[in-house]
Amino acid sequence: MQTLSRRRTQISAPSKLRAARSSTSTASQTALSRLAYQYTATTLCAASCFPIRATTNKSMTALDEFYRQFLVPGGAHCGSNSGGWPQTTLQTAIECVEEDVVPETLKGTDGIVTICRWPLRPPWSRKNFSCF
């Protein structure tokens, strides 16, 4: 419990708590302190209960067996954008289902030739984009 109480003073309160802070009444200050403590305890529990870094590689391998996500660099949702467009997405999906050919990348347009599967990114490497 000492760790939680020390960290409680270091955490910045979320926006809901900032509104309560403006009130000068003792009841508001007590409620604010309880909320800050609960927020801190929840945050610390989430960080310690789910060791993300230790399980990322195992979970990504398991996830790759049935799900792939491809993010288009510069792409926007439902509007015009400067990102490239995947050229053969439907054909790639058909090949994946019918012929069991699992894609590592997608072909793109507008100078972004390679669209990488998440979490990889396509940085420029001297001559072209490659997934890292």
* Domain extent for 95: 67-129
pLDDT (tens digit, 9 = 90+) per residue, 65-120?
778 887 777 676 666 666 666 777 788 888 888 998 888 888 877 666 778 887 77
The Cα–Cα gap between 23 and 74 comes to 44
Residues 84 and 125 in one domain: yes
The Cα–Cα gap between 107 and 116 comes to 9
pLDDT (tens digit, 9 = 90+) per residue, 8-32?
444 444 444 455 445 445 655 555 5
Residue type, 1: M
Q: Tell me if 89 is assigned to some domain.
A: yes
Number of helices (H) and strands (E), helices first, in the chain?
5, 4
Q: Tell me if 45 is assigned to some domain.
A: yes
Domain total of the chain: 2
